[in-house]
Structure 1
Amino acid sequence: MLKVDNISKSYGSIKALSDVSFTLDRGNIVGLLGVNGAGKSTLMKILAAIIHPDKGEITYKGKDVFIDTFEIRKHIGYLSEDNPLYEDMYVREYLQYVADIYKVEKDKVSSVIEQTGLQKEYKKKIKTLSKGNRQRVGIAQVLVHDPMFLILDEATSGLDPNQRESLNNLFVELSKEKMIIFSTHILQEVKDICSRFILMDKGLVVADQDIDTIESIQETFHQLINENNSR
């Protein structure tokens, strides 16, 4: 289990997160909802131990993420919103490079290529790929070391409906043995694949509920979107 306890983070005078708390368990996909600036990406970077909070703590299986960072990162797969990739590398070459960092067996690369639907793309240079296929490469590198905790920031951004459905089915299958937190702006996507959702606004958790109650926050969510668009 992963426990987030009263996490706060500021950038100068801007409060990105304020006393955020929740828990995650294996066997669930948690949808992280919120408009731009809600604090989702900051939270995910903290969960991935990339940046430190100003206060609060995160524990994974009882261990402090920011004390046992090196060991715990072996269990984390993180896809950032901007999905940085080495564009001059071939797809398989890049995935093998990531696999070597984690010291995983070479056949795992072939496995994630198949899992993410890159069979026709793995011999191509990353810079020649469409946005959707680049996103799939990013997801493949997240999976290559078989992490227990997946942090997916806008994972299906740029994918066509068929690609999105295929990867969402993969996430559902993976969630049987893993913890997944998945941020998106698409409410229907959360309804389709998540067992629970967390709604954030201005760095605060305003709802943390089972997915069967999501209809109750639809109006609030759309209101937040409209307010954000009118700024």
Structure 2
Amino acid sequence: MSIKVEQLTKVYGKQKALDALTFETKAHTIVGFLGPNGAGKSTTMKILASLLPSTSGTCAIRGISVQENTLQAKKIVGFLPENNPLYQDMYVRELLEFEAETHRIKDKKARIDQVIQQTGLTAEQHKKVAQLSKGYKQRVGLACCIIHDPEVLILDEPTTGLDPNQIMEIRSLIKELGREKTVLLSTHLMQEVEAICDEIIILNHGQLKAHFSMEAMATRFPGQSLEEIFVRLTK
């Protein structure tokens, strides 16, 4: 078990964003987290990343309760939000040094060098973030996300707004990261899910509509494409 969510509920005023959501994922898998806008994906991700309190229910990362042991849970999670908030006036390497210091990484230089190489930022490391294309900014966001070598990555629409070449590059990087980590990935691109995901979770109106492996999809939903399954479950 890598991520475990039980009866997770979040209420904003009179609106119920999550309604007793329950699911569990395996370790070292890439999980496609799907649903229409307003389904509760980002809310769930923010709760798992300890950025938003739940109204009720529980969730755990690698057996660590997010509600009861927030700091401990944060240490093993890397979160890339949809808007990728980066310090635009900082240089790439400077930003990674700041992140490494925040996480109290011992051998900062070696780890920063490793992450820069892994995310393909070698040629960009001495540029300001503001000078980078959106694709490279996403790489910087991923670098910040993995700098402390977390066991679980939570990525909220990491390829939105990228061109086809940039999308393929980021997908390749996520697939590589998924060999050693659990990745919870939200996206509206069915092609992306089919290309890199091992499991699928579909939400609608804050409720779980389906959870299945890509291997089991043809048996569970014979003759249906992922897009057709999505539309049928979320209409």
| TM-score for the superposition, normalised by structure 2 | 0.90
- Counterpart Cα distance in 2 of 1:137 and 1:193: 21
Aligned to 2:160: 157
Q: 1:32 maps to which residue?
A: 33
Amino acid at match of 2:83: D
Shift of 1:147: 0.4
| Partners of 2:190 and 2:226 within 8 A in 1 | no
Q: Which residue of 2 aligns with 1:71?
A: 72
Of 197, 202, 221, which residue of structure 1 is paired with 2:200? 197
Letter matched to residue 182 of structure 2? M
- The CA distance in 1 between the partners of 2:88 and 2:122, in whole Å, is 18
Name the residue aligned to 2:132: 129
Q: 1:184-213: per-residue Cα shift (whole Å, max 9, x none)? A: 000010001000011111111111111131
Deviation at 1:56, TM superposition (A): 0.4
Partner AA of 2:214 in structure 1: I
Gaps of 5+ in 1: none
Contact 1:26 1:176 in 2 (8 A): no
Q: 2-side partners of 1:115 and 1:156: how far apart?
A: 18
Post-superposition offset of 1:162: 2.5
Q: Distance in 1 between matches of 2:24 and 2:138?
A: 28
Kindly state the Cα deviation for residue 224 of structure 1 after the two structures are TM-superposed. 7.6
Q: AA paired with 1:169?
A: S
1:223 deviation in Å? 6.1
Instruction: Name the SS for the 1:120 alignment partner.
Output: helix
Identity %: 45
1:123, CA displacement in angstroms?
1.1
Moved >3 Å (runs of 4+):
214-217, 222-225
* Cα distance in 1 between the residues matched to 2:18 and 2:189: 22
C-alpha distance in structure 2 between counterparts of 1:201 and 1:19, whole Å: 12
Pick aligned residue for 1:218 from 205, 209, 227: 227
Say whether 1:58 aligns with 2:67: no
Unpaired runs of at least 5, structure 2:
219-223
- 2:186: which partner in 1? 183
Q: Give the deviation of 1:173 after TM superposition.
A: 2.2
1:85-132 deviations in Å (ceiling 9; x for gaps): 111101110011001111222211111111111122111111122222
Is this contact kept in 2: 1:28–1:194, CA < 8 A? yes
- The match for 1:98 is 99
2:83 is the counterpart of 1:82: yes
Residue 151 of structure 2 is matched in structure 1 by 148
Q: What is the Cα deviation at residue 63 of structure 1?
A: 2.9
Output the amino acid matched with 2:128.
K
After superposition, the C-alpha distances for 1:10-50 in whole angstroms (9 at most, x for unaligned) are: 11111111111111221100001112111110010011111
Report how many residues are paired: 226
Is the contact made by 1:152 and 1:183 (CA closer than 8 Å) also made in structure 2?
yes
Q: Secondary structure at the match of 2:124?
A: coil
Give the root-mean-square deviation of aligned CA atoms.
1.7
